[in-house]
Amino acid sequence: MQFSVVIPTYNRAGELQETLASLAKITNAGSWEVIVVDNNSTDATRQVVADAAANFPVELRYLLERQVGRSAALNAGIKAAAGENIATADDDVRFEPDWLQQAAEALEREQCDFVGGKVLPIWGGPKPSWLSDKGGRHWAVIALLDFGTEPVEFGKRYAPLGVNLAFKREAFDRSGLWDPGIGRKAGTLLGQEVREWMLRARDAGLRGMYAPNMVVHHVIPEDRLQKRYFRRWFYWHGVSRAMLYQQHPIDMHAPEETSIDFSKVHLVFGVPRYMYRSCFGSAIAMVKAGFDGEEVACFEHELALWFFLGVLRQRWRDRNRPPGAGKDSGKFVGATA
């Protein structure tokens, strides 16, 4: 079998129904299957999968994963997958019909181990005036991505989104599965599982590429187009990056670009001192952008402050643990079989 598509889900039966209807229109994909991993839903998720499976063009399987969290659900799906390649998406996306074909062609053409593609918006409400049209900090919050029309290698400046990824199966044999401790869980907005996996993938010698023609469309509900959601997301983003720093000593602003010797970095309340300077700079830039009437820039700089608060909270909790103390916990490393 060429592809297994793994879709984790939690209490979004209505969206999942539309997602599966979109996935059923996939064309020119060779042999493939779909595995929906239910992460303890209390709604009609199981029935939605059963109803869709009756007329689905390929095998559609339901799998229940009791361990809480998106990463745990993905790991369960990957272990159950029969495909030579494994694609992952979310339960609130719509697929271009050639999605899997483009993924397969990109893996072959680029001779790489994993690929990630564009994630374009389906707006569930009016787009606010403070939300950038050109990517940047804002787009990460609502899981949108567009690096342009040409392939680029992931790492340093570029990183994929978990909503649109495809891997050669052996990538997980070489670098391990997702870390359940750092990924999304109900009641939080933790979310550095892709970055954490990419750091291990890099150490294992794996290579990933942006595939511009591998496209999904992500539904952005109206309640996520509110400043309070963006503030909360960036606060948890800071918490997540600090947790990642605890495992792998990295620059929390740009994990893949780390060239800092953290044994020589001075810490204040567990946070590298240079981050306080960055925070102060963001505060000044926010005030200046506000006076200049630059609404988008002003809010972006504000979000940097919320990020710092999340970092400070988590680093204070971990202040007596040296960076790297949490690395290789053993909870997520191992073969997929």
Using CA atoms, how far residue 72 sits from 63, 157, 185, 193, in Å, is 12, 27, 10, 11
Task: Return the C-alpha torsion angle 155, 156, 161, 164, nearest 10.
Answer: -30
| Domain 3-225 falls under CATH 3.90.550.10 | yes
pTM of the model as a whole: 0.86
DSSP 102-162: HHHHHHHHHT-SEEEEEEEEEESSPPPTTS-SS-SHHHHHTT-B---SS-EESBTTB---T
pLDDT of residue 330: 37
- Domain limits of the chain? 3-225, 229-317
Could you read off the pLDDT tens digit of each residue along the chain, which spans 337 residues?
999 999 999 999 999 999 999 999 999 879 999 999 999 999 999 999 999 999 999 999 999 999 988 999 999 999 999 999 999 999 999 999 999 999 999 999 999 999 999 999 999 999 998 887 777 777 888 999 999 999 999 986 788 999 999 999 999 999 999 988 776 666 666 677 888 898 899 889 999 999 999 999 999 999 999 999 999 999 998 998 888 888 877 778 777 666 677 677 888 888 888 899 999 999 999 999 999 999 988 998 999 999 999 999 999 888 777 656 544 443 454 444 4
Among residues 39, 271, 43, which one has the least CA distance to residue 178?
39
Contact 197, 98 (CB under 8 A): no
pLDDT of residue 334: 44
Exposed, middle or buried, 133 (CB in 10 Å: 0-12/13-18/19+)? exposed
Contact 196, 179 (CB under 8 A): yes
